[in-house]
């Protein structure tokens, strides 16, 4: 170090000045050539000592700075480690939050599944209760002719079922509101949801418990309903046994009445039988019902009883209509009265929809009065429409009826009419004299009504 300083000072000797490290100029000798002398050894020694001290001081400063740099580096590394630790903790916290959120969502999904299962159970019980009500109504229709005491019991049962259904609907609606509120709360603040989770789950648990209570109540009502059905069925069985005896007596009375009616008609009725091609178009819509449909079949058989049946006498065909129309049998299907009456009794009631009479009229025009299947050109074509009221398609039905009349078909209408002036029935018939109105299906059971129908049918022979 000393040799280096000597060389350094010698290189600067020509300038005659040396600067310390603080920027102070220290003159060693006179730089002027005129006064240039050799350096003072003592002064050089002092300067050398001074430079040594400065070098030591700078070395200490460098060491101190190195120590501070090491300390700062350690602090930075420590802070980086702390930052990394914080990041790790933050990641762990985020994973924990996601896990807790997933656990909570799983709990909510389980509660939703429980609620959905409860709803499905309630819906199934409601359907069972509805089916029970339908069975009760059907049993009541069969029993109402012999015993009306069950109406009060049925009313109490209906009131109870309506009350229970309203309670179930209220509970389900409350459950839905709680579920909606819980969903909105989840969307607003997840942290708030964690604090209120236990409260919401408690509410859902209470609602599920309430639904289970209502379900148990419905099950009890269903059991009561089943027991009531058993009791009603037992009563109906007993009533049916009595009705069978009464029906047999009524059947015997009807046979006796028909025989008397036939005898009266033979004594006082028209003598001429010109041989009609007669078609019955029968309403079998849902508004007629099985019992009334049986009355219509008995009415047709009473008319058939008064006619001579055969290829050279009267021929009878039958079609039915509702939402659709169908042929029961053709004009030439049966050539004896016994087989024809038996075929009429075997016609089944399909209760297949609404009353579209125009479709039945179109079927008659296309398949009965068309020169085939027994339709005879030299015999009157007569159509009798049996209906329980106004058609659903009066305009189209009128057009179809007019088309048949233009082909020489006489149309009679036997239908319900309060005053005998039903405009829709008049539009279907050939004229107002071809309408046979009745107030109730029970009117068709009377022999007088059948006799009046026979008289008007035989009048068709006057046109031949």
SS3 351: coil
Please give the pLDDT value at position 461. 60
Residue whose structure tokens are 């159509």 = 383
Residue 345 has a pLDDT of 93
Contacts of 432 (CB under 8 A, 6+ apart): 426
| Residue 410 phi, psi (nearest 5) | -90, 135
Q: What is the pLDDT of residue 199?
A: 74
Strands 435-438 and 315-321 come out as unpaired
**Hunting for tokens 């762990």 — which residue is that?**
92
pLDDT at position 354:
85
| Helix extents (H) in 283-416 | 290-305, 337-345, 357-367, 394-406
pLDDT digits (tens, 9 = 90+) for 103-135: 878 888 888 888 888 788 878 888 887 887 887
Residue 424: the pLDDT is 75
Helices (H) and strands (E) in the chain, counts: 10, 8
| Strand-strand pairing, 315-321 and 325-329 | antiparallel
Distance CA(266)–CA(261), nearest Å, equals 9
Q: What is the pLDDT of residues 252-294, one digit of tens each?
A: 665 565 555 555 544 444 444 568 899 999 988 888 888 889 9
Strands across the sheet containing 381-387? 325-329, 315-321, 277-283, 381-387, 409-416, 435-438
Q: Show the low-confidence residues of the chain (pLDDT under 50).
A: 14-15, 17, 20-21, 27-30, 265-272, 464
- DSSP per-residue codes, 406-419: HTTEEEEEEEE-SS
Please spell the DSSP secondary structure of 33-82, one letter per residue: GGG--PPPHHHHHHHHHHHHHHHHHHHHHHHHHHHHHHHHHHHHHHHHHH
- Look at residue 43 in the predicted model and tell me its pLDDT: 83
Specify which residues 326 forms β-bridges with. Answer: 320
Q: How far apart are alpha carbons 454 and 275 in whole angstroms? A: 13
Q: Kindly report the average pLDDT of the chain as a whole number.
A: 77
The pTM assigned to this predicted structure is 0.44
User: Please, what is the Cα angle at 309 between 302 and 458, to 5 degrees?
Assistant: 65
pLDDT for res 289 = 85
- Return the pLDDT at 245: 76
């Amino acid at each position: 170090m000393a040799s280096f300083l000597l060389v350094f000072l010698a290189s600067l000797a020509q300038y005659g000045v040396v600067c310390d490290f603080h920027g102070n100029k220290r003159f060693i000798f006179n730089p002027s050539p005129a006064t240039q002398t050799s350096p003072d050894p003592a002064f050089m020694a002092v300067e050398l000592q001074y430079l040594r001290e400065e070098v030591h001081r700078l070395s200490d400063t460098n060491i101190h700075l190195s120590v501070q740099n090491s300390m700062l580096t350690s602090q930075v590394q420590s802070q980086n480690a702390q930052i990394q630790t914080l990041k790790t903790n933050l990641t762990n916290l985020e994973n924990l939050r996601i896990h807790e959120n997933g656990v909570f969502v799983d709990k909510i999904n389980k509660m939703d599944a429980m609620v959905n299962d409860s709803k499905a159970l309630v819906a199934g019980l409601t359907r069972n209760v509805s089916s029970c009500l339908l069975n009760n109504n059907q049993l009541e229709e069969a029993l109402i002719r012999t015993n009306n005491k069950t109406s009060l019991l049925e009313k109490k049962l209906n009131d109870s079922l309506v009350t229970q259904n309203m309670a179930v609907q209220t509970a389900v609606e409350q459950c839905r509101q709680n579920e909606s509120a819980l969903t909105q709360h989840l969307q607003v603040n997840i942290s708030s949801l964690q604090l209120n989770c236990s409260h919401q789950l408690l509410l859902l648990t209470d609602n599920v418990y309430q639904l289970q209570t209502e379900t148990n109540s419905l099950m009890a009502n269903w059991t009561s309903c089943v027991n009531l059905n058993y009791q009603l069925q037992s009563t109906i069985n007993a009533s049916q046994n009595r009705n069978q005896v009464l029906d047999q007596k009524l059947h015997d009375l009807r046979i006796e009445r028909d025989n008397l009616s036939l005898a009266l008609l033979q004594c006082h009725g028209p003598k001429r039988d010109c041989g009609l091609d007669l078609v019955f178009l029968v309403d079998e819509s849902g508004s007629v019902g099985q019992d009334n449909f049986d009355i219509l079949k008995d009415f047709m058989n009473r008319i058939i009883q008064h006619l001579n049946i055969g290829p050279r006498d009267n021929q009878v065909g039958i079609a039915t209509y509702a939402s659709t129309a169908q042929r029961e049998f053709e004009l030439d299907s049966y050539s004896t009265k016994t087989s024809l009456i038996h075929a009429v009794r075997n016609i089944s009631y399909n209760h297949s929809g609404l009353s579209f009479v125009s479709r039945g009229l179109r079927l008659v025009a296309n398949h009965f009065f068309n020169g085939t299947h027994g339709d005879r050109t030299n015999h009157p074509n007569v159509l009798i429409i049996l209906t329980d009221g106004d058609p659903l398609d009066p305009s189209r039905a009128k057009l179809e009826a007019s088309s048949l009349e233009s082909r020489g078909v006489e149309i009679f209408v036997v239908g319900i009419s309060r005053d005998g002036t039903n405009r829709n029935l008049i539009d279907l018939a050939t004229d107002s004299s071809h309408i046979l109105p009745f107030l109730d299906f029970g009117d068709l059971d009377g022999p007088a009504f059948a006799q009046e129908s026979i008289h008007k049918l035989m009048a068709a022979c006057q046109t031949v």
